[in-house]
Structure 1
Amino acid sequence: MSDLEFSDEEGQELEKKFNEATKFVAGNVTKFNDGQLLTLYGWYKQSTVGDCDGNRPGIFQMAKRSKWDAWNKVKSTPKDEAMEKYIEIVRSTCPEEDLSAVSVKASANSWVSVSTHRQEDDIREEDKTIFDHVQEKNFERFLEALENCTNVNDLDENGLTLAHWAADRGQDAMLSELLKRKEININVLDEDGQTPLHYAAFCGHPKCAKILLDAGADVTIKDSQGSTCLDVACDDAIRILLTK
């Protein structure tokens, strides 16, 4: 079925279901294995951006390479079909769940939760990094690790900073602590050109968005697909914050 075969009403209903599915995945990452998350990433990018372009990342950039492969694999798939595939995977994996009941304030967003590998459950506590503590929302351990963190702008293996992860996870207290550091770059970009404010906006985390805005975050920055944080904002509450 092509995009032209959908009536306006059908297209709107499909987009509604797709958005519900992405929010469900964002808040329930552990229900999906890494293979499913990568597949969902491919369908998500095909649905929202279109065909994959650019060169395949090198062998030493395995995370980026895996994501590129997942996206490129579904190249030429029409947008509506890609959305249907995404919804189908989510429903088949979690058949008993009511996707429409998921709050927009999910704990993570589709960019991160679907585009990166989940943290393995068997990592020993002593081996966890400050990034792990942010992802796990462990504020106490985060504070301990922050004392020994020499540069809060460092990127992890997924190309994200601590501020990106805090905004993604809705950790406003962690974000506030990070902003106390003089070296913090509030407009730092991830591998897709997205700022922490992009993440807070897409996730539906108004507290994080306000903290970033109050600190001077730039709302005009466009990511690699030309989208500002306002373009990706998930609801009216976030949009109002961004347009004040």
Structure 2
Amino acid sequence: MASPGVLEESSSGEACSGGCPEQWDEKTEEELQGQFEQAAKHVQNVASVASTEQLLFLYARYKQVKVGRCNTPKPGFFDYEGKKKWEAWKALGDYSCQQAMNEYIETVKKLDPDWSPQALEEPHKEPKTTFGGPVVSCLYKVQETLREEDKDIFDYCRENNISRVSHALSTGAIDVNVADDEGRCLLHWACDRGHTQLVSVLLFHNAHINMQDSEGQTPLHYASACEFPDIVDLLLDHGADPSLVDNDGFQPHEVTDSKNIAAMLQQHASYGEHNKPASLLLEMPQ
């Protein structure tokens, strides 16, 4: 999995409202907002001296100001950087917008003691930004947009292009268990992205349901970690083994934050496979 790497996007939402801490009683909302925007612009100049923890701290507070409470689903299993950002933002809960701006500004000051926000002299102009916003985090990697002719079967799988994948498998152009450089097969990717129908298609074409990648993780590990209960149930119905461990010794129920999925996996391991007719398990999805 990737280690934390470079820039972060921000939402275009307006700043949220909320209770103002006492230390900001003497500062108007407009002044505070202006100083926050200056800090968000200046942070691009100090990102290189900030630690990953500081960048996550800034990212979470920027999102809290611009969007409010975390309102996005948890990123996929492969997106380690995205999950760290999501967790930092999610942890703020109903954190005060004013407090978030206060802490953002103070953190930028610590990163550059010589910097201080200037009094507003003219209407604020949006700074030139990269990838949607001025806040810098070293936790975002922009995926290159591929031309159609440059895509491979894994790209079509990630995009949930069922017709392309189905055609390739039906014609024998691609082995359903083909793996990428990390040992991840199409079923791993479909489970990671939450493509339930595509998972069914791959299973119909006899995808190896317990195939392990280079880290020993099965598709069931991926579906569990990404919290897709429908896919977890589908995999279990088709004979996925919840007792298999990855290279770190973890079973699927130990890599998920979902109590419901963990309970489902543990119950399945205790009581054995579901007694469903094989003809139903391998029925081609409509």
The SS at the match of 2:204 is coil
| Cα deviations by residue, 1:103-162 (Å, 9 ceiling, x for unpaired) | 34x4x22xx1238x76421x2112211210111122232223333444221211333110
Query: Structure 2 matches for 1:68-83, cutoff 5 A?
Result: none
Give yes or no for the alignment of 1:100 onto 2:70: yes
Counting matched residue pairs gives: 162
Q: Which residue of 2 aligns with 1:34?
A: none
The SS at the match of 1:87 is helix
Give yes or no for the alignment of 1:200 onto 2:223: yes
The SS at the match of 2:240 is coil
Q: 1:98 to 1:198 in 2, by over 3 A?
A: farther
Q: Distance in 2 between matches of 1:166 and 1:199?
A: 9
CA positional deviation for 1:192:
0.9
TM-score (normalizing by structure 1):
0.57
Give yes or no for the alignment of 1:113 onto 2:61: no
Q: 1:142 to 1:158 in 2, by over 3 A?
A: same
Q: Distance in 2 between matches of 1:191 and 1:94?
A: 35
Larger Rg: 2
Letter in 2 for 1:154: V
Q: Distance in 2 between matches of 1:174 and 1:156?
A: 18
Letter in 2 for 1:91: A
Q: Which residue of 1 aligns with 2:47?
A: none
Q: For the Cα contact (< 8 Å) 2:168–2:174, is it kept in 1? A: no
| Cα deviations by residue, 1:196-243 (Å, 9 ceiling, x for unpaired) | 000000001111111110011111111111111000122122123212
Give yes or no for the alignment of 1:154 onto 2:178: yes
Q: 1:226 to 1:146 in 2, by over 3 A?
A: same
The SS at the match of 1:167 is helix
Q: Which residue of 1 aligns with 2:264?
A: 241
Q: Distance in 1 between matches of 2:256 and 2:204?
A: 26
Q: Distance in 1 between matches of 2:201 and 2:166?
A: 8
The SS at the match of 1:179 is helix
Q: For the Cα contact (< 8 Å) 1:154–1:161, is it kept in 2? A: yes
Q: Which residue of 2 aligns with 1:28?
A: none
| Cα deviations by residue, 1:47-81 (Å, 9 ceiling, x for unpaired) | xxxxxxxxxxxxxxxxxxxxxxxxxxxxxxxxxx9
Q: For the Cα contact (< 8 Å) 1:167–1:208, is it kept in 2? A: yes
The SS at the match of 2:57 is helix
Q: 1:149 to 1:178 in 2, by over 3 A?
A: farther
Aligned residues with identical type, % of pairs: 34
Q: Which residue of 2 aligns with 1:221?
A: 244
Query: Structure 2 matches for 1:166-181, cutoff 5 A?
Result: 166-181=190-205
Q: Runs of 5+ in structure 2 lacking a partner? A: 6-50, 82-140, 268-286
Q: For the Cα contact (< 8 Å) 2:162–2:198, is it kept in 1? A: yes
Q: Runs of 5+ in structure 1 lacking a partner? A: 1-36, 41-80
Q: Distance in 1 between matches of 2:239 and 2:62?
A: 41
Q: 1:225 to 1:124 in 2, by over 3 A?
A: same
